[in-house]
Amino acid sequence: MAVIRHYYAFHISQLSPMGMVRVRHFEFVCKSQGLEPTIEKFKVFYQLNSNLGFFSYALRNVKKILIKPPKSFHDWKMKFFFIREEVIPIAMEFRQSGPIPKEDAKIPHKEGWYNKIKATPNRVFGGQVLVVAGMSNKWPYP
């Protein structure tokens, strides 16, 4: 996720919960299918957008990789909290909200990785599944 956030140059606290779901789901889909999640691959499926000062990712007109995303996160702002700067050891700047230029991402219909990716539902997985996908350091992964 850090690579995607860094590419679009916004502070982690400016990412909406739906944006977070889309990024983490993309990473899970790639890693669970033996693919390296890259910004180039992410841009095939999503376009940065902004709403009320928060950033998220709008779906592009390509195949979906997230089946039945959550419709909303009720009361998420009540649970929002700030993270002290010392906790995150990388520099992050606040990005101004406003018009975002559309990026052109060529749909790689004939590339193996694109055809390998399959749509999966949004689910909450247990720790063991995340370890196997290489997305958790709860247990050492060989």
- Report the C-alpha gap between 115 and 22 in whole angstroms: 19
Give how far Cα 110 sits from Cα of 35, 50, 61, 63, Å.
16, 31, 17, 14
- Look at residue 52 in the predicted model and tell me its pLDDT: 77
The partner residues of 46 in beta bridges, in order of sequence, read 59
- Report the C-alpha gap between 123 and 68 in whole angstroms: 10
Tokens of residue 36, six digits: 């390296």
Q: Is 2 helix (H, G, I), strand (E, B) or coil?
A: helix
Q: How many angstroms separate the first and last alpha carbons of the chain?
A: 22
Q: Is residue 71 part of a domain?
A: yes
Number of helices (H), then strands (E), belonging to the chain: the values are: 5, 4
Q: Is residue 42 part of a domain?
A: yes
- Report the C-alpha gap between 82 and 12 in whole angstroms: 10
Q: Is residue 141 part of a domain?
A: no
- Look at residue 113 in the predicted model and tell me its pLDDT: 93
Query: From the first residue on, what is the mean pLDDT of each consecutive set of 10 residues in the chain (142 residues)?
Result: 81 83 88 89 92 85 83 71 70 73 85 89 70 65 50
Q: What is the dihedral of CA 93, 36, 48, 75, to 10 degrees?
A: -80
Q: Is residue 26 part of a domain?
A: yes
- Look at residue 138 in the predicted model and tell me its pLDDT: 65
Instruction: Give the residue numbers spanning the domain of 89.
Output: 2-132
The partner residues of 67 in beta bridges, in order of sequence, read 121
Q: Is residue 139 part of a domain?
A: no
- Look at residue 47 in the predicted model and tell me its pLDDT: 92
Q: Is residue 140 part of a domain?
A: no
- Report the C-alpha gap between 139 and 68 in whole angstroms: 30
Domain count for the chain, please give it. Answer: 1
Q: Is residue 17 part of a domain?
A: yes
